[in-house]
């Protein structure tokens, strides 16, 4: 078992993502905060296939839940009325324990429970769960510090929420700068983990203020952009060192807007601003150089690779499908870009090239240039 863990932990991000996909697990971004979760998923799945997690005499029945497989004991540890009916059991007797779906009314709500990446799980606990009983969902969530649960009318949405990492928004730098609780210069962290972090000298902009920034990007208004973000860095940096959302609903960050509207100059300006230590220092005045660089890496990573809420597409997907060659060139040249991200339909950026280009007369030329830029960089 230790040899298996060691071999998986030594995989590169690209290799880990590839192995997860080969195993039928639709993995999200492989980042420093999410990698432990995906490693554990793959370790558990491979260990089960090799029989390393099956105690002597245990039934071979397994439950297929979302990303991975868990033993029937795991499901039995949770009340059967609370596990979403989408989970299916496989056993020698297919009729054993089968529910009469025709006679059961659909639940009013589904409660998805999202767990932190560092959750200490045993073999008898379900890693992701969707419940139909609010009390049971709350009990399960309380077992893990930093866990969250949310109600949905649609089971698929609850499943998607359960597959997210609860502490995804907490940056490594934020954890490093944790200060003693009760210090007069600290405030409670907004990441849901109870971390006490340095208070910020700027207030978060209101939604209407963020609209001004989005319009500045859309209209190529460099002066307005710089005036806004340098007067308050939180126009770009939200809680937990995450990208500010400039368009609610689909949750577009600044790079999504640049890619969709074909604003290469604003795209360069946005990335240059985020990577400027002086800009980060405005918000975190007490950071060491190492911590400041860690924040920059984390933030730029999220800007480049966080998918939108609609079709789960990154800024690179946007630039490719709209045929915006210069944006593709800027994004693919950045070393932190994850080049093999898939949208909700399993499509890579190369799969959607020019699918929504407006000027069809330029499609052939744009497609050739974009595919040339993508060639060799997509794993």
Count CB neighbours of 34 within 10 A.
17
Backbone angles phi, psi at 247, to 5 degrees: -140, 110
Q: CATH top-level class for 207-376?
A: mainly alpha
Q: What is the pLDDT of residue 326?
A: 96
Q: What is the pLDDT of residue 135?
A: 82
Tokens of 105: 């009314």
Whether 66 contacts 162, CB under 8 Å:
yes
Q: What is the pLDDT of residue 183?
A: 34
Q: What is the pLDDT of residue 53?
A: 58
Count CB neighbours of 278 within 10 A.
9
Q: What is the pLDDT of residue 118?
A: 61
Give me the residues paired with residue 71 across strands. Answer: 62
Q: d(Cα 36, Cα 207) in Å, to the nearest integer?
A: 34
SS3 assignment, position 18: helix
Backbone angles phi, psi at 204, to 5 degrees: -70, 135
Whether 123 contacts 156, CB under 8 Å:
no
Q: What is the pLDDT of residue 264?
A: 97
Rg (CA), the chain: 23
For 10, 107, 341, 344, the CA distances from 15, given in Å and listed in that order, are 10, 40, 13, 20
**What is the pTM assigned to this prediction?**
0.53
Whether 320 contacts 352, CB under 8 Å:
yes
Q: What is the pLDDT of residue 195?
A: 36
Nearest to 313, CA basis, from 30, 66, 29: 29
Cβ contacts of 5-9, under 8 Å, gap ≥ 24: 5/43, 8/39, 8/42, 8/43, 8/46, 9/39
Whether 144 contacts 195, CB under 8 Å:
no
User: Which residues in the chain are classed under CATH 1.25.40.20?
Assistant: 207-376
Nearest to 265, CA basis, from 357, 329, 339: 329
Q: d(Cα 257, Cα 246) in Å, to the nearest integer?
A: 8
In the chain (379 residues long), the average pLDDT of successive 10-residue segments reads: 81 84 76 78 81 47 37 39 38 43 65 70 55 82 75 78 56 44 34 45 92 97 96 92 92 96 97 96 92 93 94 96 96 92 94 94 95 73
Q: What is the pLDDT of residue 277?
A: 95
**The length of the chain, given as a count of residues:** 379
Tokens of 70: 């868990």
């Amino acid at each position: 078992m230790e040899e298996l863990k060691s071999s998986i932990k030594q995989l590169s991000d690209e290799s880990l993502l590839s192995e997860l996909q080969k195993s039928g697990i639709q993995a999200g971004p492989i980042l420093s905060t999410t990698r432990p979760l995906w490693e554990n998923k793959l370790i558990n799945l491979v260990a089960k296939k090799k029989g390393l997690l099956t105690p002597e005499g245990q039934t071979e029945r397994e439950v297929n839940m979302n990303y991975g497989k868990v033993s029937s004991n795991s499901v039995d540890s949770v009340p059967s009325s609370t596990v979403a009916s989408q989970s299916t059991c496989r056993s020698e007797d297919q009729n054993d324990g089968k529910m009469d779906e025709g006679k059961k009314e659909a639940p009013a709500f589904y409660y998805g429970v999202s767990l932190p990446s560092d959750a200490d799980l045993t073999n008898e606990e379900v890693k992701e769960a969707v419940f139909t009983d609010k009390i049971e969902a709350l009990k399960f969530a309380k077992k893990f510090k930093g866990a969250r649960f949310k109600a949905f009318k649609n089971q698929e949405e609850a499943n998607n929420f359960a597959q997210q990492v609860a502490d995804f928004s907490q940056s490594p730098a934020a954890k490093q700068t944790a200060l003693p609780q009760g210090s007069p210069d600290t405030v409670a962290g907004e990441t849901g983990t109870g971390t006490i972090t340095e208070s910020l000298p700027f207030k978060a902009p209101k939604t209407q203020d963020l609209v001004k920034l989005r319009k500045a990007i859309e209209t190529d208004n460099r002066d307005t952009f710089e005036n806004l973000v340098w007067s308050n860095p939180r126009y770009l940096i939200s809680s937990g060192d995450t990208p500010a959302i400039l368009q609610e609903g689909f949750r577009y960050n600044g790079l999504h807007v640049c890619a969709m509207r074909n604003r290469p100059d604003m795209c360069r300006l946005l990335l240059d601003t985020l990577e400027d230590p002086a800009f980060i220092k405005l918000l975190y005045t007490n950071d060491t150089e190492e911590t400041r660089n860690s924040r920059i890496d984390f933030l730029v990573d999220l800007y480049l690779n966080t998918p939108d809420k609609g079709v789960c597409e990154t800024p690179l997907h946007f630039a490719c499908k709209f045929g915006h060659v210069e944006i593709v060139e800027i994004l693919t040249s950045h070393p932190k870009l994850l080049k093999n991200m898939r949208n909700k339909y399993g499509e890579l950026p190369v799969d959607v090239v020019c699918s929504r280009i407006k000027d069809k007369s330029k499609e052939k030329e744009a497609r050739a240039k974009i595919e040339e830029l993508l060639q060799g960089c997509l794993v």
